[in-house]
Amino acid sequence: MKGLFTALIVSYDKDGEINEKGLREIIRYNVDVCKVDGLYVNGSTGENFMISTEEKKQIFRIVKDEVKDQVELIAQVGSINLKESIELAKYATDLGYGALSAVTPFYYKFDFEEIKHYYNEIINSVDNKMIIYSIPFLTGVNISLEQFAELFENEKIIGVKFTAGDFYLLERMRKTFPDKLLYAGFDEMLLSAAVLGVDGAIGSTFNVNGQRAREIYELANKGEIAKAREIQHETNDFITELLNNGLYQTLKEILKEKGVDAGYCRQPMKELSEEKVDTAKRIAATYF
């Protein structure tokens, strides 16, 4: 399960319904053009927290049907509805997903014992593996080194998607848990994480920028830091423009410029203005 995984974008039509044809085109672009090692399905980038349980199942099913066994698949099943998480864990496992992931339960101020119970309940309900999705700046949930050690007492919990800027904690985790999988979650910090020895990365910008991410990761692993730094600079120029214009909407516009029916974002996310669509086209022409 090592390598680069795209946090998969999902194509929705103007009414917010899943566009299966467009989703399949996004999948093919990631596998055939971006050449990623795997797909991380139904995460934040797929607008997961704005869709129903049945829609999540539909996306899991389409992705598996399109990919077959070409690349690795990780199913993000996390929810503050534990019953839904378990239902999705069973569904994705039955489909043949190689691993599960779950965001830390959010909104309510769950204590660590509640968080630990959540992860154990999900992964102990299936014959599969769990990757914790830690993204404190969105969830407000910080997990300490000692708490990660407690979670890892369950041997089915095999790693972490580490979407945080605490690189001291990341370094401590790499040293303390050499046999666990650590994935970088911030695309703009991929080089820094690679230098610390992560096992891969999971990124939203990999939907279009997967080839640069591959160069950064492989150059870092070969110790060619100066070359990797230049590509990270270029990547971060791209990411800065992307964030300024609207992250998910602009990624979809770039894919459209590449002939991919990437569709629209679900409300309450808004459509890009004509000016921002023009900016997205310029970004696509500049970087791709």
Examine the residue annotation and report whether 161 is marked as an active-site residue of this protein: yes
Q: Kindly provide the residue ranges of all beta strands, DSSP E only, lying in 224-279, ordered along the sequence.
A: none
Q: Is 202 annotated as a binding residue?
A: yes
Amino acid, res. 286: T
Strands 99-103 and 72-76: parallel
Q: Catalytic one among 161, 180, 252, 256? A: 161
DSSP string for residues in 188-238: GGHHHHHHTT-SEEEESTHHHHHHHHHHHHHHHHTT-HHHHHHHHHHHHHH
Distance of CA 149 to the CA centre of its chain: 23
SS3 85: helix
Q: Catalytic one among 91, 133, 217, 248? A: 133
> Counting runs of H as helices and runs of E as strands, what totals does the chain give?
12, 8
Q: Is 188 annotated as a binding residue?
A: yes
Place of tokens 């041997």: 155
Q: Is 278 annotated as a binding residue?
A: no
Q: Is 20 annotated as a binding residue?
A: no
Q: Is 231 annotated as a binding residue?
A: no
Amino acid, res. 269: M
Examine the residue annotation and report whether 118 is marked as an active-site residue of this protein: no
Amino acid, res. 163: T
- Both tokens of 114, joined, read 């509640």
Task: Give the residue numbers marked as catalytic.
Answer: 133, 161
Binding-site residue positions for pyruvate? 45, 202
Binding-site residue positions for aceneuramate? 44-45, 163, 185, 187-188, 204
